[in-house]
């Protein structure tokens, strides 16, 4: 589809209000049961960096902000500067940890992919999806959909420790 | 917290596998009931651009990819080039429309913020949160939390047409 065709679809404002010009789609927040397991998955398996942590002890929750960066040297060392930086750029992942949920064996969060549905997934793009999926297999990461499953042979879905789906795609056409 | 302290938290892999070096946190997917209403909200109210649409007529769904860009001139005109571009960068929002849901008055999606909880919100950062919230009020956008509500006076939450929460923050400290 051309951009003109996309911009003519019902509902689309082709030339948005100038007021929105500097708006940034900064982050997505998901709740996680076991913070250490979630941090392990997002940093070790997917390569995110933890860039900020905010505690709210009276309300018994903490927020963790992660970014997936090719160049980690760009992360500001100074906490105040790092705080402004993480609020100003796209592609941040926020994990909310309600303290103590990790100690309740029956506690689970809802992935959004069974009733009642809503949120679907996060997606990480990779340069080589065959290599990435082979690595995930080696690391014992659970798959929701392997490359070979179903009709779409160029995408996969893995699951994070809370069961949220993470789609894996490749930047370029999959051979 | 210093970066060294963040990197020493349980679960954190401070120096991720080189295999993840080019990984990009590309997008977040949410399902929407009424596509035209969702596109209107994300393009007119929040300033997103619709950059790709993929139809799956046999499975009766369509995917819409949006980006929130300060410079719309960077959107490639060529569809194939635009496809590769949208898969290679962070901060994309994917809307899934299951055809026909908009005709069922009883149909709703789940925001993730009532039981069963999971996904929490998207977040858009703005240069002037007072101006942004005044504009949302003027546009009749429903609020989940106004700036004046609760103890956190520097964040707000608005709701999209499906009831998903969109947090609004300001890049800089709020006066």
Per-residue pLDDT of chain B (175 residues; tens, 9 = 90+): 999 999 999 999 999 999 999 999 999 999 999 999 999 999 999 999 999 999 999 999 999 999 999 999 999 999 999 999 999 999 999 999 999 999 999 999 999 999 999 999 999 999 999 999 999 999 999 999 999 999 999 999 999 999 999 999 999 999 8
Question: Per the structure block, which two tokens stand in for A66?
Answer: 């992660």
CATH number assigned to the domain comprising residue A45: 3.10.180.10
CA A132 and chain centroid, separation: 16
Flag whether A102 is marked binding: no
A76 and A30 in a common domain: yes
* Torsion, Cα of B72, A74, A164, B13 (10° steps): 170
B138 and B90 in a common domain: no
Out of A13, A29, A67, closest to residue B123 by CB: A29
Q: How close, in Å, is residue B103 to chain A by CA atoms?
A: 16
B159 and B97 in a common domain: no
B84 and B36 in a common domain: yes
A141 and A93 in a common domain: no
The DSSP element (H or E) to which A138 belongs, if any, is helix A129-138
- Does residue A16 fall inside a structural domain? no
- Does residue B17 fall inside a structural domain? no
The DSSP element (H or E) to which A37 belongs, if any, is helix A35-40
Last residue within a domain, chosen from B72, B102, B132: B102
Last residue within a domain, chosen from A102, A135, A164: A102
- Does residue A72 fall inside a structural domain? yes
Residue B175: the pLDDT is 82
Out of A25, A109, A172, closest to residue B124 by CB: A25
Last residue within a domain, chosen from B75, B102, B129: B102
Which chain A residue has its CA at the smallest distance from B123's CA? A27
- B74, A33 contact by CB (below 8 A): no
Cβ separation A87–B125 shorter than 8 A = yes
Flag whether B94 is marked binding: yes
Residue B132: the pLDDT is 98
- Does residue A113 fall inside a structural domain? no
Supply the range of the domain harboring residue A144. Answer: 120-175
The DSSP element (H or E) to which B42 belongs, if any, is none
CA gap A150, A173 in Å, rounded:
18
CA gap A157, A132 in Å, rounded:
12
- Does residue A132 fall inside a structural domain? yes
A34 and A86 in a common domain: yes
Within chain A, which residues score under 50 in pLDDT? Answer: none
- In terms of DSSP H, where are the helices of A11-168? 35-40, 79-87, 129-138
Kindly calculate the radius of gyration of chain A based on its CA atoms and give it in whole angstroms.
18
CA gap B157, B168 in Å, rounded:
6
Coil, strand or helix: which one is B6?
helix
Burial letters A52-65, b for 16+ CB under 10 A, else e: bbeeeeeeebbebb
B85 and B34 in a common domain: yes
- Does residue A87 fall inside a structural domain? yes
A141 and A82 in a common domain: no
Residue B86: the pLDDT is 97
The pLDDT tens digits for B111-136 are 999 999 999 999 999 999 999 999 99
How many separate domains does chain A show? 2
A81 and A141 in a common domain: no
B52 is catalytic: no
Contacts of B19 in chain A (CB under 8 A): 47, 131-132, 135
Question: Per the structure block, which two tokens stand in for A14?
Answer: 């082709």
Out of A16, A52, A118, closest to residue B44 by CB: A16
- Does residue B163 fall inside a structural domain? yes
A98 and A51 in a common domain: yes
A89 and A38 in a common domain: yes
């Amino acid at each position: 589809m051309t951009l003109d065709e996309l911009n003519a679809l019902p509902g689309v404002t082709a030339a948005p209000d100038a007021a929105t010009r500097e708006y940034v789609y900064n982050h997505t927040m998901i709740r996680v049961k076991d913070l250490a397991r979630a941090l392990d998955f997002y940093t070790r398996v997917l390569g995110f960096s933890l860039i900020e942590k905010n505690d709210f002890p009276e309300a018994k929750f903490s927020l963790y902000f992660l970014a997936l960066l090719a160049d980690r040297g760009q992360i500001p060392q100074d906490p105040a500067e790092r705080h402004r930086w993480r609020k100003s750029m796209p592609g941040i992942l926020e994990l909310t940890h309600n303290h103590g949920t990790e100690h309740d064996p029956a506690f689970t969060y809802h992935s959004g992919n069974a009733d009642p549905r809503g949120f679907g997934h996060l997606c990480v793009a990779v340069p080589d999806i065959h290599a990435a999926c082979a690595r995930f297999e080696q690391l014992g990461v659970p798959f929701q959909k392997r490359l070979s499953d179903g009709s779409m042979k160029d995408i996969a879905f893995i699951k994070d420790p809370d069961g949220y789906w993470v789609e894996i795609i490749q930047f370029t056409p999959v051979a």
